[in-house]
Amino acid sequence: MKVSELMDPRGILLYANIDNAADVLGILVELQEHLGVITNGTAYYNAVCQREAFGGTTAIGDGIALPHAGNAGVSAPGVAAMTLRHGVDWGAPDGRPVDLLFMIAVPPEQDSLHLQILARLVNLLGRGALVDALRHASSPQRFLELLQKAENTSFGD
C-alpha cells in the first residue's frame, strides 16, 4: 500500500507556527480524528507521547520526525503531515530541530502495515530533493502530489 493512498489533503497542515512538540502532536492527532482515522484522540495522543518519552524519539534526522504508536483508538490506517515555520526540538540523533512530520496511525492488529509505512517513508524521505519540495509545497494538494509522484517513480503504480 502506498503512503500517499493513506493521506488526504485535509490531513496536511503547512507552515504551522507551533513551538513545542506536545502541541505539534496534539494537532496531528486532531487532523487524524477529523478524517475518522483516530476514534479516541486522547488515548492515541497519550500513546504517542508515551512512545516519544519511553520508546525513543521518532525523529530520524534532517529535521524529520515520524510520530506513531500502536493503539486501539485507531479505526483505519492513515497518515497526517505537517510542516513547521520554525523547527522544534525533537531529540533528533543529529540534534537538528524538526520541521517536517508524518504521523502514522494504524490499528493495532495491522503491525506489518505499520512497518511497511515506516519503511517506505524513511526510503522516500532519504531523498533531499523530495524533502525540500515538501517543505516548500504551496498547498496540501501540492504536498500530496509531490509525495505521490515520488512514490510512483520509486515503487511503481
Could you list the active site residues?
A: 68
DSSP-assigned states of every residue in 76-119: S-EEEEEEEEEEE----TT-PPEEEEEEEEE-TT-HHHHHHHHH
132 near 95, Cβ under 8 Å?
Answer: no
Q: Report how far residue 9's alpha carbon sits from residue 34's, in angstroms, rounded to the nearest whole number.
A: 12
Q: Report how far residue 17's alpha carbon sits from residue 2's, in angstroms, rounded to the nearest whole number.
A: 29
Q: Which three-class secondary structure state does DSSP give residue 13?
A: strand
